[in-house]
Amino acid sequence: MNASYDTIGLNYAELRRADARIAKVIQTALGESRSLLDVGAGAGSYEPVDRAVTALEPSAEMIAQRSASNTNVVQGSAEDLPFDDKSFDAVMAVLTVHHWSDKEKGMAEIRRVCAGPIVILTYDPAFRDFWLLDYFPELAALDERQMPPLDDFPKWLGDVEVSQVPIPHDCSDGFLAAYWRRPTAYLDARVRAAISSFWKVGDITSGLERLRHDLKSGVWQKRYGEVLELDERDCGYRLVVAS
């Protein structure tokens, strides 16, 4: 994985705060493991505080945003882990696999260093039931290019369990679909700056103008207003667990 987050990760610690409900799902999947490797750790938002955590992150900017803790922080990439075989009871990777330059090699590496469960939060690139894609179809095309199909994970890791991770309407972690019930948030350049997908698709002026117009005119509410009645919904995020 390259260190592009040196550029796009400037506000991550503030805008990408762990959502407690998602964190609970991840920590439950980690089981009773005591030593944990967090690959593509970012600012460390989902790392449990009751385990011995080693965080691996390529971006110096992201590392600089970490809160003070006892976590062992290593700058490096998933494709070349600087650890011995079976060094950790468990490995976690949260919304990071799509950034890896060689996903198969990265998966082989985390399998090599892990003695127990591997817990990966990712996105199903085949998922299309999200109104944002109507305004920014480039995002769907991007997902197809960078997100690994769910069928790839058993090829890489063996037997896996895949489950939905519903996104709450007030999700505190500002990833792409976090604002599914707060559409005006996508008009905020600062919010978009903490979402790597918007950086990667380039010029989105046309989509922003249409979204702004439809929110002001009431068109958005007529087309998609039923989501405003939901407390959570499936937005395509999946937990992949290999044990």
Beta-carbon contacts of 74 under 8 Å, excluding residues fewer than 6 positions away, are 54, 55, 56, 57, 82
- Over residues 16-41, the pLDDT tens digits come to 789 999 999 999 999 999 999 999 99
Give the pLDDT score at 69: 87
pTM above 0.85, yes or no: yes
Domains of the chain as residue ranges with CATH: 5-242 (3.40.50.150)
3-state secondary structure (DSSP) of residue 6 = helix
- Over residues 131-173, the pLDDT tens digits come to 999 999 999 998 888 899 999 999 999 999 999 999 999 999 9
Q: Are 18 and 231 in contact (CB under 8 A)?
A: no
For the residues 113-130, what does the mean pLDDT come to? 96
Q: What distance in Å separates the CA atoms of residue 34 and residue 22, rounded to the nearest whole number?
A: 20
- Over residues 209-236, the pLDDT tens digits come to 999 999 999 999 999 999 999 999 999 9
- DSSP annotation of 106: H
> Distance of CA 227 to CAs 65, 170, 181, Å?
34, 13, 6
For the residues 63-83, what does the mean pLDDT come to? 93
